[in-house]
Amino acid sequence: MFSQPDSTESTPLPPPESAETDVSAGEPPSSTSSSLASAASPSLSDGTKTPSPNLSPNRPQIPITWPDGGILTLDWVTNLMSTFDWSSRNLRPAEFPTVLPVEVFDAIVLTASKILHKEPNCVSIEPEKEGGVGSSVVVVGDVHGQLHDVLFLLNETGLPSENRFFVFNGDYVDRGAWGLETFLLLLAWKVLLPERVFLLRGNHESKYCTSVYGFEREVLAKYGDNSKGKHVYRKCLGCFEGLPLASIIAGCVYTAHGGVFRNIPATPSKRAKGKKNRKVIVSAESVPLSLGSLEELSKARRTVLNPPWEGPNLIPGDVLWSDPSMKPGLSPNKERGIGLLWGPDCTEDFLKKFSLKLIIRSHEGPDAREKRPGLGGMDEGYTIDHVVPSGKLITVFSAPDYPQFQATEDRYKNKGAYIVLKSPNFDTPIFRSFEATIPRPKVNPYYNFEEVIDSDEELDLTLMVQSS
């Protein structure tokens, strides 16, 4: 196991705001919460203060309107950033349609969905070819509806541009209170710069997770528990289905939310009368596990509300739910009930087989990592989990002070992180850790966080069947 480099301790920040408890009350954010422009500045891991995003504390022009001709501009998207920040601090959730009418929501989601559904399961990103010499790629992990930390991250890294690419590794929603704003903002960036911003699917972009961990209730709280709110939620689910599963950056870096995936063997069946031999997918339980190929990944069916945990279409579930282990080999991920556990030997085999240098995945926050023997904690927002002859396996988690609502008295107080890959050495990651933007606006949770302590542990397969 690779040991993380020591970093200078950041300046201590005040404790995070405590959460209120009853989402049905529809309480507005605390009037004492200042705008992001005047909030305490987060710190990078070297202890230096960084400026908060330059977002106006003044009331923006609302409602937001869709531009004539449907062509987004940089000004439109940056205005969306500042408007979402302002509304999160000054309006009740039920007032959100006064900021973003359903018609504008529809336009963003429809336009983005058309782009996403046309992308392959594994998108190929060639920064130097498309962005020129000096290009960089920012890889972002889970953000879980923590809008203000996403706004900080975008401004800290520099906004997406012709030579600055972004790959988001999924889990935009659930647990945090602003999953809808976060997802819509990233969709807007995708529409503006479809060849520079890449949004991958996380395990929380599913009907099952969003029905348990808050996103469904968040949408209904903001657009109404009626036909309008259900329409918005349904359109989000449809957009989730279009999100690609993985990316390969500069031919040497594989990114996905969970990680690697299995081979799905196919064998010919007995010859049926009057018919040609057919291929029958063998049950995954009946054959030894082995790593799958990129060709198999490209053919997997990703347009599912919930990635299956059984049957022939197991690759999406593997890519979104799997976890690394220090134990050699490939085995079922029994703790989660879906996906795989894979050891350093499998990381080496995967990298070598596809001529890669890095695997960058996400999926595990501080709550998950405290139960993983042999693997590093998520205090700095990233860990280097496997170091093998062909390269490294890295986990990056971009939601600091996670989760937003926590049942235990002691918070994890983890930093978030993102990874910068720069030309010409895209296989040499640069890690940037940052602390949470505070104070967060006070807002009620959208799920029973006191009962749901561990985000993705022990998948409720019965509930997943019901939600499919």
Residue 466 is predicted with a pLDDT of 59
Residue 58 is predicted with a pLDDT of 84
Least confident of 249-263, 271-285, 378-392: 271-285
The predicted-structure confidence for 408-458, as pLDDT tens digits, reads as follows: 889 999 999 999 999 999 999 999 999 999 999 999 999 999 887 555 555
Of the two residues 270 and 247, the one the predictor is more confident about is 247
Residue 287 is predicted with a pLDDT of 73
Least confident of 179-188, 200-209, 269-278, 415-424: 269-278
**Taking 50 as the threshold, does the pLDDT of residue 17 lie above it?**
no
Report the percent of the chain where pLDDT is more than 90.
75
Of the two residues 452 and 354, the one the predictor is more confident about is 354
Q: pLDDT-based confidence at 56, cuts 50/70/90?
A: low
Residue 55 is predicted with a pLDDT of 60
The predicted-structure confidence for 113-152, as pLDDT tens digits, reads as follows: 999 999 999 999 999 999 888 999 999 999 999 999 999 9
Q: Give the chain's mean pLDDT.
A: 86
Residue 433 is predicted with a pLDDT of 98
**Taking 90 as the threshold, does the pLDDT of residue 284 lie above it?**
no
Residue 175 zone, left/alpha/beta (φ > 0; ψ -120 to 50; rest): left
Q: pLDDT-based confidence at 468, cuts 50/70/90?
A: low
Residue 152 is predicted with a pLDDT of 98
Least confident of 241-250, 262-271, 334-343: 262-271
Least confident of 12-16, 181-185, 200-204: 12-16
Residue 373 is predicted with a pLDDT of 86
**Taking 50 as the threshold, does the pLDDT of residue 14 lie above it?**
no
**Taking 50 as the threshold, does the pLDDT of residue 90 lie above it?**
yes
**Taking 50 as the threshold, does the pLDDT of residue 228 lie above it?**
yes
**Taking 60 as the threshold, does the pLDDT of residue 9 lie above it?**
no
Residue 276 is predicted with a pLDDT of 53
The predicted-structure confidence for 299-312, as pLDDT tens digits, reads as follows: 999 999 999 999 99
Does residue 148 have an active-site annotation? no
Please pick, among 144, 148, 204, 257, the residue that the annotation labels catalytic.
Answer: 204
